[in-house]
Structures are given as structure tokens and as C-alpha cells.
């Protein structure tokens, strides 16, 4: 009797062991499949997604404003797209009459990297100021053009100067100019209008890539050939160096933490091959589909799951 019960118990034990082991194996197999599926379908959170501010075909997301003219008037068609280039051009009979122009991208950014590939070409228009020869700029944290005065010459902004050499003399590139702004250089407030960078000179009609790293009002860097040539912090409205502005827009001491991006028409022809931006503000929830490891400022309202 005892041996019979023992035999039955062994058979029951064996019968329960087999399904238990099989279940564990099945669960492990399913888990491995699910983990592999998640790994292969997850987005590449390290891949940088650059935005083409200039799309190579039109200026649909850009708005011109020239001194003395209403917003949206492309005076004498000086801003144009031709041969997949965004260009500034002047007619042979053009004569400068204080009509500076700016072309504004239609979206604000606060934390980003900006890259522009450009070249200067041709000759300056008649009666253009001497300092404007081979001179343009990437206007950072730029004033909304709807708040510009009709006769305002420059927007409140931080200008990363694009400068070309004359073939003989030294002339640094990616300098800083501060129309309607002040910045902190090192530990000191900088109130003059412009300061030279530490860059080399770029002569001729060569293509040049200029970059900016903009982190709100905590840090702005101008970069050429992967080298930081200018660095400053804590930009605020102030300092003058603009005219024709509306008092409502010029609130002295206001921190500049975001703004538009603009390029200039300052009397010398120029071509832009590309203008690209990497937004550093976005979804920082690692569970979201659009999470990126390189974001430095959270905008979790943009998260997608």
C-alpha cells in the first residue's frame, strides 16, 4: 500500500513538473520576443533632427521688413530665391538711402543650435556704408517684426556678424553686435555696440559655415570650424544703438530668453546655401516616442506616447 501511494505521488510530481517547466520556458520566450520588439521599434533618441529653416525653394516661412516700409514688403525684391539659394541682391542702379532690410523666420526659439552656410559675392551697392562691405548677420533672439517701428533700422536682437575680408587686411568673423541689447562678457556688463571675435579672416567668395549655440539667456556661443570664437551670457534689452523703435517694445533691462531668427540686407550681395536649426527644447520624458537625449529644456506638453 505504501509503495503504491509512493508510486502515485511520484507520477503526480512528474506530471506537475513538466507543465511548470514548459510554462517558464514559454514565458521566457515571449519576454525575449517582446524585449526584442521594443528594442527594434523604439525611435533613435540620439539621432539629431535638424530643421531646414530655408527649404531651398521659397521664402514662405520668412517675412521681410525694410526701414520705412510696411512689414511684408520685399523692397525691390532684394530678398529672393534662385538656383536653390536664398540671396540678397541689388540692382545696378540701386543707391542706398538708409533702407536696411531684415528677413524674419516665423517661429520663436529659445534653446537651439543654428548653422548657416553662406558666401559673399559681387560688389556693394552704391553709397552703402563702408562698414557694411561684405557684412550680413544672423540675428538671434530677434524682436518680433510686428512690434517694429515703421522707420526702425535694426531689430532688438543679438547679431552674429557674418563678415568677409577684403583680400588684404585682417577682419575677424562671427563678431557680436548688440542692437538694442546688452550682454555679459566674462563677469562684466558689455554696453558698447560691437566686439570682435577671436576668428581668422575669411577672404573671397568662399562658402563659410557659421554656427551658434543658444541656451536661452544663460549662454550664447558663436562657432566657426568647430571653434568657439565668441561667448556671452545674460542678454537684456538696453544699450541703444537702434533708432525708430516703438517705446512699448524697448523695455530696458528685460532679459532676452527667446526670439525669432533673421538675416539682413545691409547693402552687400550674399547667398545662403542652407540655414538649419536643431531645437534643444522638447519632450524629456524617456517613455515618450519623441524623447531626445540632446534636449536641454523640457517641453513635455509636446510629448507623444
Q: End-to-end distance of the chain based on CA atoms, in angstroms?
A: 64
pLDDT means over runs of 10, the chain (305 residues): 46 48 58 49 81 97 98 98 97 94 98 98 95 97 98 98 96 98 95 96 97 98 98 97 96 97 98 98 96 97 95
Nearest to 303 by CA among 26, 45, 116: 45
- pLDDT the model gives residue 15: 46
- pLDDT the model gives residue 35: 52
What would the 3-class secondary structure string for the chain be? CHHHHHHHHHHHHHHHHHHHHHHHHHHHHHHHHHHHHHHHHCCCCCCCCCEECCCCCCCCCEEEEECCCCCCCCHHHCEEEECCEEEECCCCCCECCCCCEEEEECCCECEEEEEEEEEECCCCCECCCHHHCCEEEEEEEECCHHHCCCCCCCCCCEEEEEECCCCCCCCCCCCEECCCEEEEECCEEECCCEECCCCCCCCCCCCEEEEEEEECCCEEEEEECCEEEEEEEEEEECCCCCCCCCCCCCCCCCECCCEEEEEEECCCCEEEEEEEEEECEECCCCCCCCCCCCCCEECHHHCCC
Q: What pTM was computed for the model? A: 0.85
- pLDDT the model gives residue 294: 97
- pLDDT the model gives residue 60: 95
- pLDDT the model gives residue 40: 38
Nearest to 163 by CA among 143, 206, 133: 133
Using DSSP, state whether 215 is helix, strand or coil: strand
Can you give the length of the chain in residues?
Answer: 305
Q: CATH for 51-281?
A: 2.60.120.560
pLDDT in tens, 236-254: 999 999 999 999 999 999 9
Look up residue 105 and give its three cell numbers.
523666420
Percent of the chain whose predicted confidence (pLDDT) is above 70: 86
Q: Where are the domains of the chain?
A: 1-42, 51-281
Amino acid at each position: 500500500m505504501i509503495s503504491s501511494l509512493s508510486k502515485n505521488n511520484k507520477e503526480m510530481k512528474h506530471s506537475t513538473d513538466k507543465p511548470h517547466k514548459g510554462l517558464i520556458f514559454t514565458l521566457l520566450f515571449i519576454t525575449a520576443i517582446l524585449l526584442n520588439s521594443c528594442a527594434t521599434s523604439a525611435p533613435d533618441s540620439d539621432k539629431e533632427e535638424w530643421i531646414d529653416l530655408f527649404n531651398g525653394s521659397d521664402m514662405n516661412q520668412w517675412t521681410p521688413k525694410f526701414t520705412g516700409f510696411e512689414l511684408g514688403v520685399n523692397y525691390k525684391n532684394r530678398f529672393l530665391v534662385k538656383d536653390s539659394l536664398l540671396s540678397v541682391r541689388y540692382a545696378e542702379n540701386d543707391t542706398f538711402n538708409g533702407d536696411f532690410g531684415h528677413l524674419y523666420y516665423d517661429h520663436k526659439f529659445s534653446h537651439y543650435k543654428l548653422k548657416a552656410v553662406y558666401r559673399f559675392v559681387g560688389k556693394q551697392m552704391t553709397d552703402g556704408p563702408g562698414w557694411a562691405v561684405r557684412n550680413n548677420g544672423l540675428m538671434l533672439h530677434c524682436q518680433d517684426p510686428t512690434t517694429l517701428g515703421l522707420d526702425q533700422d535694426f531689430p532688438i536682437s543679438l547679431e552674429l556678424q557674418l563678415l568677409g575680408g577684403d583680400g588684404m587686411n585682417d577682419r575677424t568673423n562671427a563678431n557680436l553686435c548688440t542692437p538694442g541689447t546688452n550682454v555679459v562678457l566674462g563677469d562684466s556688463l558689455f554696453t558698447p555696440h560691437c566686439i570682435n571675435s577671436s576668428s581668422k579672416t575669411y577672404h573671397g567668395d568662399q562658402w563659410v559655415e557659421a554656427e551658434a549655440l543658444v541656451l536661452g539667456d544663460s549662454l550664447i556661443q558663436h562657432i566657426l570650424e568647430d571653434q568657439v570664437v565668441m561667448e556671452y551670457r545674460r542678454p537684456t534689452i538696453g544699450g541703444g544703438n537702434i533708432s525708430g523703435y516703438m517705446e512699448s517694445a524697448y523695455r530696458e533691462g528685460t532679459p532676452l530668453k527667446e526670439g525669432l531668427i533673421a538675416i539682413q540686407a545691409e547693402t552687400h550681395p550674399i547667398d545662403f546655401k542652407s540655414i538649419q536649426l536643431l531645437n534643444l527644447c522638447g519632450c524629456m520624458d524617456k517613455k515618450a516616442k519623441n524623447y531626445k537625449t540632446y534636449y536641454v529644456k523640457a517641453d513635455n506638453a509636446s510629448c507623444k506616447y
